[in-house]
Structures are given as structure tokens and as C-alpha cells.
Copies of this chain bind each other. A is one copy, B any other.
């Protein structure tokens, strides 16, 4: 499983709307509206880097209201949970 975490700054009145649109995109596992200098944190869980590339530079860019993104690839996940089976990969 390829996991990526994206920090987003969003236009002020669009936080919830953008969150809902993002959460609908295949491969987007969770979207959190958060305190602090970012507005949303997006968890992406896909099979391959190409899926990730397509999602980030193809899909995600078409969601209006996003001002700034900082995309992080996860090297490795550490968890008590079996994330692969939980997120049925």
C-alpha cells in the first residue's frame, strides 16, 4: 500500500465543501478539517506510485478552493492496527 499525507490551505468559506469533494475521490481514505495553520489533512491510500501521481497531479488539482498543498509520501507505517486489511488493499 502506498500512503501519502497532504496538508492543504483552502479558501476560508470552502473548508467543509472541499473536504467533502476530496473524500469522494477514489484513493482518498480520510479528510480531516484541523486547527492550526493548515485547513485540511488528506490521507491517501493507493496501490502504486502511478495511482498516487494520477490522483495528486490529475484529480486533486481539479477541486476548486484549494490554495496551497504540501504532499508527503509515507516511507513506512508503524501501527498496532493491520492498516492494509483495514483499508482492504
Q: Which residues of A contact B (CB under 8 A)?
A: 2-5, 7, 12-13, 15-16, 19-20, 22-24, 29-38, 41, 49, 52-53, 56-58, 61-62, 66, 69-81, 83, 86-87
Can you list 30 contacts pairing A with B, beta carbon distance less than 8 Å?
A3-B32, A12-B66, A13-B62, A15-B61, A16-B76, A19-B76, A19-B78, A23-B79, A29-B79, A29-B80, A30-B83, A31-B77, A32-B72, A32-B74, A32-B75, A32-B77, A33-B74, A33-B76, A34-B73, A34-B75, A35-B71, A35-B72, A35-B75, A36-B37, A36-B70, A49-B73, A53-B75, A53-B76, A57-B75, A86-B86
Complex formed: what's the CA distance from A71 to B81 in Å? 22
